[in-house]
Amino acid sequence: MLGKGADGTLGSRFRVSRLRHVVLRFRSALVCLRAARVYRRLVRAFQPPCVLVVEDNADARAAFEVLLRQRGFGVVTAGDGQEALEVLRSGLKPRLILLDLMMPRKDGWQFRREQVADPELSDVPVVVLSGAGQLQRRTQHLGIAEVLEKPIDVERLLEVVGRYCTLQ
């Protein structure tokens, strides 16, 4: 506010109470922001390790989900590579991706190429689940952690998932 000073000159005046109110609101917002960060860290620390299952066959996807949840793992599923990328880009950071290769829309090969090209997603290990033989050599250039051939040996699957997603 502008007002006349005692000597008749114009001077500026502002209300300290208003400034104090703004400062208090700012501090309150900072406290809330810090609390939210701490909350997210705590939630992450107490959540079971997460596995993203990318499989177009709904029955197989459901079977993987039930099996892994029974063993204490958090599971998120996607029906194809496009959906998996959307899930990952929405902020999910799984410890492991179980990936089928033959899928509609965006197959496992396309998914993996895009995942590797994205610095935010490239460090998540991928285990390929596929019925196609001779995959070990064909997947080496994509940096695949492991290949499990269908039909999947459940004990082997649990061993591999356990290696990447140790329960705390």
Cβ atoms within 10 A of the Cβ of 83, count? 17
> 48-164: which CATH number, 3.40.50.2300, 3.40.50.1000, 3.90.1150.10, 3.30.360.10?
3.40.50.2300
Please list the ranges in the chain whose pLDDT falls under 50. Answer: 45, 168
Each domain of the chain, given as residue ranges in start order, spans: 2-45, 48-164
Predicted TM-score (pTM) of this structure: 0.69
**What are residue 154's phi and psi, to 5 degrees?**
-60, -45
Residue count of the chain: 168
User: pLDDT per residue over 72-93, tens digit each?
Assistant: 899 999 999 999 999 999 888 8
pLDDT of residue 14: 53
pLDDT of residue 146: 87
